[in-house]
Amino acid sequence: MRWHKRLLVAGVAGLMALTASACAGGQVRGAGGTPQPQTSGGGSPAGGQANDATFVYAPNHDVVTDWDPATSYSNEIIALSNIYEGLTRYDSETKEASPRLATEWTSAKDGKEWTFKLRQGVTFHSGATFDATAAKKAIERTKEKKGGAAYIWDPVDKIEAVDASTLKFTLKYAAPLDLIAASGYAAWIYDVDAVDADGKKTAGTGPYTIDTWQKGKETELTLKAFDDYWGGWKPAQYKKVAFRVTPEITTAWQLLQKGEVNFVERLNPQLFEQAQTTESVRTAESPSFQNLLVLFNTAAGPTQDVKVRQALQLAIDYDGLAAALEGAGQKASGLVPQGLVGHASGMEPKQDLAKAQALLAEAGYGPDLKELKLSLTYGIGDEDQKLLVTLLSSTLSKLNVTLQAKPMNWSAQWDLGKKGGQDVFVMYWYPDYPDAYSWFLNVFKSADKPQFNLSYLKNTEIDAAIDKLPELTATDRLAAVEEYKTLQEKIIQEQAAVAVPYVQKYQRALSSDVQGYKDNAAYPNVVFFYDLTRAS
């Protein structure tokens, strides 16, 4: 049995090596200071009593990939929106910016000059005092970094700290700076000297600061209350927050039922229905600012013919799709989602197959005519988009139209799109700051090298109208609403460059003891933990 002995010797040697390495030094995991997440199941603090429970958010993706508030442009918006604040925050009910670090603001010279009065008595997490100079430095740093959504500050020519509490912006061209300052990305004000890319400390003014960050772990991030927050703290608010990464929806649902997590971004339709009848859970639904665009190639191929494009618009089963989405999407009216300046009601599309067939026949295609072959690209792994494609494909086959649909990874789909490689391009669009202008500037303004203008629309009249939008929004919002409506009619009805099948709807599930939750579509998937309290 010599081999037994050798194995034993090898095993002992291995163990010794391990022990030896153990004597060389080690680091402590999750070396934070304050307590880690506890389930909110235990204890029963009443409204006035201290809330020592941890609010647990269950995202299905990594929590933070970029800690720099200047360049961050990804999922970390959920955490960072609770650590950093901007000058304003968007309110989708009033469709206006509301005070945050700025308490009031005025614009002059046709929207080319903006003056913000800043909040007094605000301190950064670093201990530094927030004032106009600090705000100016932060925005200038974000601009210089040119990362993420830094382009939102492009209209800004000059920033002046007039006095400690007055910040004045001079713009190159008119723009709604109050809305830009409410952006979910790149608009955060931070202490430029305290930015830490490793996530060990935070430099914001928000209600929470980082407690622990363990990249790749299940509980990836925990936040703790910033004691000196300018808004103060009430006993029933959550002082601790944890992000527990849960890739599987079914797992998230089980954790929510057991009270181990408090908030799940999205369940599938079956589980969401179950959640609506589960006692320990409550649900919340609200429309988002993200809509699906079906962009038709106006520059080449068979869709160059406006009649083909109009036929395709009419072939989409908008009602059937909304029903099949089971609440995850609602029928759109125009290009601009509800809750934004520029939303046009009464523009809901309808399926009309007879008309579609007639239009196709006029273009030379149809059941008794030539077969029409169209290529379409859409996002791989997106079940909602797949549903649209399946429904459309089966409808079109009856009209002798063959849809060659290809699911693709975004970067591949986008790459092909930039080269004009398809007839129909399906994608979601959402604005970086709460302004309808984003759809028009990015998706429908002429471009020699298209980035997101993937319908390749080139129309000087439309371009001129788009260029007028920022000034109108900055100076006369009522006129802007009218102009937006006219533009949408031109793009959707006249040009038929796009079909908008649905606006995504948020379907949240949260534990029933959480109070004060309200979705804000301008900040996708963000929960403002400071607004929440725990019921007794």
- The footprint of another protein (CB under 8 A) covers 2-3, 6-7, 18-19, 21-22, 26-32, 34-38, 61-62, 65-66, 73-74, 146-149, 151, 212, 215-219, 242, 244-248, 250-251, 254-255, 257-258, 260, 381, 408-416, 432, 449, 451-452
Nearer to another protein, 19 or 94 (CB): 19
What is the token pair recorded at 475?
């100076």
> What minimum distance in Å lies between the beta carbon of 32 and another protein?
7
Nearer to another protein, 3 or 345 (CB): 3
What gap in Å lies between CA 356 and CA 260, rounded to an integer? 52
> What minimum distance in Å lies between the beta carbon of 53 and another protein?
12
Beta strands in 297-447 (DSSP E): 329-331, 372-379, 401-408, 424-429
Nearer to another protein, 368 or 449 (CB): 449
> What minimum distance in Å lies between the beta carbon of 532 and another protein?
21
Nearer to another protein, 58 or 372 (CB): 58
> What minimum distance in Å lies between the beta carbon of 464 and another protein?
23
Nearer to another protein, 185 or 318 (CB): 185
Amino acid identity, position 184: G
> What minimum distance in Å lies between the beta carbon of 27 and another protein?
5
Instruction: Tell me which residue of 274, 267, 264 sits closest to 244, measured CA to CA.
Output: 264
> What minimum distance in Å lies between the beta carbon of 410 and another protein?
6
- Enumerate long-range contacts of 195-199, CB under 8 Å, 24 or more apart: 195/67, 195/68, 195/69, 195/70, 196/67, 197/66, 197/67, 197/68, 198/67, 199/64, 199/67
Nearer to another protein, 21 or 394 (CB): 21
State the burial class of residue 264 (Cβ atoms within 10 Å of its Cβ: 0-12, 13-18, 19+).
buried
What gap in Å lies between CA 249 and CA 414, rounded to an integer? 28
What gap in Å lies between CA 364 and CA 382, rounded to an integer? 33
> What minimum distance in Å lies between the beta carbon of 372 and another protein?
26
Residues 312 and 425: beta-carbon distance below 8 Å: no
> What minimum distance in Å lies between the beta carbon of 37 and another protein?
6
> What minimum distance in Å lies between the beta carbon of 186 and another protein?
11
> What minimum distance in Å lies between the beta carbon of 468 and another protein?
23
Q: What is the 3-state secondary structure (H, E, C) of 170-194?
A: EECCCCCHHHHCCCCCCCCECCHHH
Residues 64 and 221: beta-carbon distance below 8 Å: yes
> What minimum distance in Å lies between the beta carbon of 300 and another protein?
20
Nearer to another protein, 6 or 234 (CB): 6
Nearer to another protein, 366 or 431 (CB): 431
Nearer to another protein, 5 or 478 (CB): 5
Residues 534 and 513: beta-carbon distance below 8 Å: yes
Nearer to another protein, 60 or 351 (CB): 60
What gap in Å lies between CA 61 and CA 75, rounded to an integer? 8
**Cα separation of the two ends of the chain:** 67
* Cα separations in angstroms, 39 against 55, 147, 239, 451: 8, 37, 13, 46
> What minimum distance in Å lies between the beta carbon of 123 and another protein?
27
Q: What is the DSSP letter of 354?
A: H
For the four alpha carbons of 522, 525, 529 and 533, in that order, the dihedral sign comes to positive
Distance of CA 439 to the CA centre of its chain: 14
Nearer to another protein, 27 or 94 (CB): 27
For the four alpha carbons of 379, 383, 388 and 390, in that order, the dihedral sign comes to positive
Nearer to another protein, 225 or 496 (CB): 225
> What minimum distance in Å lies between the beta carbon of 450 and another protein?
11
Beta strands in 48-92 (DSSP E): 54-58, 88-91
What is the token pair recorded at 312?
């395709």
Nearer to another protein, 148 or 501 (CB): 148
Secondary structure (DSSP) of 103-147: EEEEEETTTTEEEEEEPSS-B-TTSPBP-HHHHHHHHHHHHHH--
